Each structure stands twice: as structure tokens, then as C-alpha cells.
Amino acid sequence: MGLLSFLNKKVVSIDLGSYETKIVEGRVKNKKIEIDKYFSFLTPVKTYENGYIINKELLSYSLKEELSKNEIRTKNAYMSIKSSSVFTREITLPNVGKEEIDGILKYKLEEYLPIETNEYIVQYRTMGKTEENHGQKQNILLMAMPKEIVEGHFCLLKNIDLEPRVLDFQSNSITKLIDYSSTINNKYETEEKIFALIDLGHNSTNITILKDGYMQVARIIDIGGKDLKKDIINESAEDIAEKIHTVFKYYISREIENEIHRILLYGGLSNIENVDKLFEDYYNIPTTLIEDIDGIFILEGMNKYINCIGSLIRNEDE
């Protein structure tokens, strides 16, 4: 799978959320993910929102205190980001090499993304190849993250005496983790399957569609656990399911053979009783809560730390 880690050294991987922050200390070594420590804490109110740092001083203090309390001495830091301000777009290009792709995007980027390019950091991931009338093409997923978000997280890590090494997009993190594994929950094989991965968070929901190890769609909708009304949980969850359905319809309509074999749920809201059954009934697609991924040992809370763990994996093209 071409997995690399930063010189096989330990890394502290941080998943900042507006409601809760998750942290894992570990590394990828000999194609195995080793987890040494993991913990979470409530993010101080009004310090972090939709990928933007609102109160750097208070957030820095809180992070530094929690790292010290949990005896984290590792300095190399990875962070995973989820923000509706991140633009994604699927495009098709000729089957050319990386230098040619870089050249095309340099001159045509504004045709593909509705952004001021000097205000964003843009990266791309290959989504596989297709045969068309005029030869082989390759599908590319563009991801554009505001420089304000990138620079804010870089400064935050520096402020708490960590060395920023990687800033990862959460859809990319979960893609790597599923591609790394061969089975989910010791039961469901990942090879040659199309998964809809749904991160049910507090403020928003992240939807990633994965086919044969390649990310096909990455979308964030601004509705999450905070929008659920406890007295009518099923009705509220259906509001989320309806918005997710729009993303599903978009993916399925792109090509005749597109379908979704299984929905995989993770994130805080996924622990609500019977939420998997609600999604399965709504879409008529088998739905599973991620509880275990082969090759990773963690005593409890695998579901909560998925974004942190996925960020530990570095592919050769990153």
C-alpha cells in the first residue's frame, strides 16, 4: 500500500472539533498502526468553529494542559480538518503524469473551482481511470482549503510547542484508513466495495464515498448532533438523512454502474441507539457502525478516534 510515516517516529495526531477534541499518539511501523495513547476532552466553548480558530489563546492553553496531563511528549504533530469552507470538485483530465496535471491546474484552476486561488491551498487526489471514446482518462478530486485555516492551525501547533508536519482533510484520513484495512468489524471485507462513510459530528456531517480504495465524493453538510431534538430523535435524524441523500443521488447519477454497497457510520452521533437501523431503513442500504478495523489495536473508542488514526497513515503521493 506504500505506507510511510515520518521516519517511523511517534506522532501526535489531533482532531479538533467545535464540541470535542480527540488526540492519539502513535505511528505507522512495518505496515502496522501502533497506538500508544489516546484521549479526548471538551473543546472550550467558542474557541473553534467550522475549521476556524476563534480564540487562539484559550484553545492553546487547553490543548497544552491536556497534552501535559496525558504525558504526551511527542513533538511531531498531524492535524485533521473538517470544514464546509473546504471546496471539493471532481474533474476528468487526460491520462498524463503528475507534472502535466500540475501544469493544467496551474492555468485552469479557476475554471474548476469558484475561488480566489491566491486565498486557498489546493491539492488533488486521483480517483481512478476510465475509458472514453478518445482514450483513457483519469478522474481527479480537487480539494481547496482556505489559507486562513491552514495558517491558523500551523500557528496553533507552534504556539503549543509542537512541530506541524501534516494538515489532513478528514475525508482523506478515512479513505486511507479504509484502504489500509481488509475488514471492518472482523466481518465486512473492504476490497472491491463502494462505501459511503458518514461522520456524524456535533456541528456538521462529513460524507465520503469510496470506491476500490479511491475517494469519489467528499461533502460536508451543516447539520449535526446539535440540531437533533431529543424528544423527536428519529424525525431529526431523518433531516440529516435527507440532506445526505442528495449527495448519494449526485454520485449514483454520474455513471450507470455507480451504486453504494454499504454505509459505514462513525463520529459522536453514530452512538445514538438504533441510528444505524434508521439509516438502513431510510436508504435501503446495509448500514454498519464502525467498531473495529483490522490491524489496529485500541482498547475502546475506535469509532471516536478514526480521523486521528487515519491521519497517521501517509501515502507515497502525500
123-162, pLDDT tens digit by residue?
Answer: 998 887 777 767 788 889 999 999 999 999 999 999 999 9
Residue 9 confidence (pLDDT) = 82
How many structural domains comprise the chain? 3
Range of the domain at 211: 182-306
* pTM: predicted TM-score of the whole model, two decimal places: 0.89
Statement to judge: residues 130 and 17 lie in one domain: no
Statement to judge: residues 198 and 225 lie in one domain: yes
When pLDDT is cut at 50, 70 and 90, the band that residue 5 belongs to is: very low
CA gap 63, 79 in Å, rounded = 13
Sheet holding 11-15, edge to edge: 32-42, 20-29, 11-15, 76-81, 163-169
Residue 29 confidence (pLDDT) = 79
Separation of CA 147 from chain center: 18
Strand residue runs (E) in the chain: 3-4, 11-15, 20-29, 32-42, 48-49, 52-53, 76-81, 87-94, 120-132, 135-146, 163-169, 183-184, 188-189, 194-200, 205-211, 214-221, 262-266, 287-289, 314-315
Statement to judge: residues 110 and 200 lie in one domain: no
Q: What CATH number does residue 97 fall under?
A: 3.30.1490.300
Query: Which of 62, 86, 75, 219 has its CA nearest to residue 148?
Result: 86
Is 311 domain-assigned? no
Instruction: Please write the tens of the pLDDT for every residue from 191-249.
Output: 888 999 999 888 889 999 999 888 999 999 888 777 765 556 566 677 888 899 999 99
Task: Say which amino acid occupies 289.
Answer: L
Statement to judge: residues 42 and 153 lie in one domain: yes
Task: Say which amino acid occupies 254.
Answer: R
CA gap 44, 119 in Å, rounded = 28
Q: Kindly report the CA angle at 292 between 176 and 199, in degrees rounded to 5?
A: 60
Residue 220 confidence (pLDDT) = 92
Is 317 domain-assigned? no
Statement to judge: residues 97 and 214 lie in one domain: no
Statement to judge: residues 226 and 244 lie in one domain: yes
Statement to judge: residues 237 and 122 lie in one domain: no
Statement to judge: residues 12 and 52 lie in one domain: yes
